[in-house]
Each structure stands twice: as structure tokens, then as C-alpha cells.
């Protein structure tokens, strides 16, 4: 049953994605409002289809351009974040050349960054600054890599220089800066029971794991429970500089992940079965 379920889901995903490509392509070419709405609806549908159950805490900034900074566990983060808000991603340059996934990233107006060349950081910040001033919502994973989902790595501040941009003035004439909103993404359960440290690699893609075999095993694993917490936004005038913003954002994200892993926030999950108890039955396809 897990294999059959996975096969049906993957086949449906491919068909749905290939059907979505021309819709999103022409929406972008014609600059229709649909080009921002469709990826959000598409990823919400994918999350339902794959059984990714998202508990959202807090609210994303929606009244201006915003830079979401989040911890990164793997490719499911893309579906999860896009299902919670209308946004685009800041991705590493290699993603643009990935079969199908690269095309999807380009159609969502992702910004591709060469993280290996310091000289490219300035140009990338300029692109981010333009998009944020335009009012776009962008997601940056400042750890620079994905992790096992049990910890948060140090946030790199290089690309956060874009948030030094002024986006206008408030009623009192004070300068307004682009908000930075920390976001914690925590995988907490599978089949409605807590996702322990030993099972987290089923969904966390990191290190030298091969992508396609990992996707297959993750889809076979079954329904996933995720907690997404939008923390209070930060701004340059409050923090002082981009390095301070990176530290404050990292602290907020780490605390949010810790709360979710402890079960202090998020869905109510069934107790994990004892060692001598049978595992829960596979969900129907």
C-alpha cells in the first residue's frame, strides 16, 4: 500500500505540474494577478494531496514587501511556505538547472544566488532590494543549507543588506524600512504521532542525500504534521544593522522550533507507541 500510494501521488504530481506550467507561464508573460495567486493555490493543493497538515501560528506581513527568513529542512519547505502565503524564493544558483524543480522555481519568480562567490552578493542584494521595494514577499533561508530539522544553524547576514532599503514614510514622517519576519518551520508528526529524532531524516533532506530516492521514501512515509510560526517582524530602525537583525531572527526561529519540537505549540498528537506495540496502520491512498 505505501508503494501504491506513493506511485499514485507522484504520477498525479507530475500531471498536475505539467498542466500548471502553461497557466503560470502565460500569467507571468501577461502580468496577470493570477501569476501571484496560482502558485499559492497550487502548493496548497499539493500539501493536501501529499497529506502535509500545516498548523500556522501568527500572521505573515501582507501590507508591504517583506523578507521572510526561515530555517531550512528540505524541499517540503517550499510547498509549506508557498501554501501559507503568496511569495517567491531566494534560491541557490544550482536550483535553476534542476529538471522540473528549476522550471517551477523560475515560474514562481525565484531569485537565484551564487552563494560561492562573494562578489555576487552585492548584485543579489540589489535584485532583492528592487523586488522588496516593489512590494514582493520573498523567502530567504539564511542558514545557507538544509539541516536534520533538530536544530537551527547560524543565520548568515550577507543578503540581509537588502532590508536596509527605505520603502516610504509613516504618518509622522519617519522612514519606513522593509520588514524582516522570522519564520519557524518544524516537522512534528507523521501519521498523527510525534516525529522522533530517528524518523526526522524521512523528511529532512540534507548532507549528501540523493534527491529523487529521498523524495520517493518521503512520499511513502505518509501524512506529515508541520508547525509554521510567523514571529513578530523586525526592521532596520529597531535592530540597527543587518547583522543584528540576523541574530534576532535566528533567536526567534530557534525558540519557535524548540517550542514546536516539545509539543508546546501545534497540533495535538497521539502518544508514540511503545516499543512492543504495532505501528499505526498506513493511511488509505
Give the pLDDT score at 270: 75
Q: What is the DSSP string of the chain?
A: -HHHHHHHHHHHHHHHHHHHHHHHHHHHHTT-THHHHHHHHHHHHHHHHHTEEEEEES----SS-EEEEE---STHHHHHHHHHSS-EEEEEGGGGGSTTHHHHHHHTTPEEE-TT-THHHHHHHHHHHHHHHTT-EEEE-TTSS---SS--PPPP-GGGGGGG-EEEE-TTS-EEE--EEEEEEEEEEETTEE--TTTGGGT---TT--HHHHHHHHHHH--EEEEEEEPPPB-HHHH-SHHHHHHHHHHHHHHHHHHHHTTSSS---PPPPPTTSPPPPPPP-
Give the pLDDT score at 196: 85
Q: What is the pLDDT along the chain (285 residues), one digit of tens a residue?
A: 788 989 999 999 999 999 999 999 999 999 999 999 999 999 999 999 999 999 999 999 998 889 999 999 999 999 999 999 999 999 988 898 888 889 999 999 999 988 766 666 677 888 888 899 889 999 999 998 899 899 999 999 888 877 776 766 667 777 778 899 999 999 999 989 998 888 888 999 998 899 889 999 999 988 999 999 999 999 887 777 888 999 999 999 999 999 999 999 988 787 766 554 444 444 443
- Report the DSSP beta bridge partners of residue 90: 111
Q: Please determine, looking at this structure, whether the domain spanning 2-261 carries the CATH number 3.40.449.
A: no
Give the pLDDT score at 283: 43
Give the pLDDT score at 68: 97
190 in Cβ contact with 135 (< 8 Å): no
Q: Write down the pTM of the prediction.
A: 0.89
User: Distance between CA atoms of 282 and 219, rounded to whole angstroms?
Assistant: 12
Domain boundaries, the chain: 2-261
Give the pLDDT score at 285: 36
- Our CA angle for 191, 197, 201, nearest 5°, is 75
User: Distance between CA atoms of 101 and 69, rounded to whole angstroms?
Assistant: 21
Give the pLDDT score at 275: 52
User: Distance between CA atoms of 77 and 226, rounded to whole angstroms?
Assistant: 10
Amino acid at each position: 500500500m505505501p508503494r501504491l500510494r506513493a506511485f499514485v501521488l507522484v504520477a498525479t504530481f507530475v500531471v498536475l505540474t505539467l498542466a500548471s506550467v502553461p497557466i503560470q507561464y502565460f500569467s507571468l508573460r501577461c502580468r496577470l494577478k493570477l501569476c501571484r495567486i496560482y502558485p499559492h493555490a497550487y502548493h496548497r493543493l499539493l500539501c493536501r494531496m501529499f497529506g502535509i497538515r500545516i498548523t500556522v501560528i501568527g500572521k505573515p506581513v501582507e501590507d508591504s514587501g517583506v523578507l521572510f527568513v526561515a530555517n531550512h529542512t528540505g524541499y517540503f519547505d517550499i510547498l509549506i511556505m508557498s501554501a501559507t502565503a503568496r511569495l517567491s524564493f531566494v534560491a541557490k544558483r544550482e536550483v535553476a538547472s534542476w529538471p522540473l524543480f528549476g522550471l517551477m522555481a523560475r515560474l514562481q519568480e525565484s531569485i537565484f544566488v551564487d552563494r560561492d562567490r562573494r562578489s555576487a552578493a552585492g548584485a543579489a542584494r540589489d535584485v532583492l532590494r528592487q523586488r522588496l521595494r516593489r512590494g514582493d514577499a520573498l523567502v530567504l533561508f539564511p542558514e545557507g543549507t538544509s539541516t536534520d530539522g533538530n536544530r537551527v544553524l547560524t543565520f548568515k547576514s550577507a543578503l540581509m543588506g537588502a532590508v536596509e532599503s527605505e520603502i516610504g514614510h509613516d504618518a509622522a514622517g519617519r522612514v519606513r524600512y522593509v520588514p524582516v519576519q522570522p519564520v519557524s518551520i518544524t516537522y512534528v508528526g507523521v501519521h498523527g504521532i510525534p516525529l522522533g529524532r530517528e524518523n526526522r531524516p524521512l523528511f529532512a533532506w540534507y548532507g549528501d542525500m540523493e534527491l529523487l530516492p529521498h523524495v520517493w521514501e518521503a512520499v511513502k512515509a505518509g501524512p506529515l504534521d508541520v508547525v509554521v510560526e510567523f514571529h513578530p517582524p523586525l526592521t532596520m530602525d529597531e535592530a540597527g544593522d543587518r547583522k543584528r537583525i540576523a541574530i534576532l531572527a535566528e533567536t526567534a526561529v530557534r525558540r519557535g522550533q524548540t517550542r514546536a519540537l516539545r509539543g508546546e505549540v501545534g497540533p495535538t498528537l497521539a502518544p508514540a507507541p511503545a516499543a512492543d506495540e504495532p505501528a499505526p496502520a498506513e493511511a488509505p491512498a
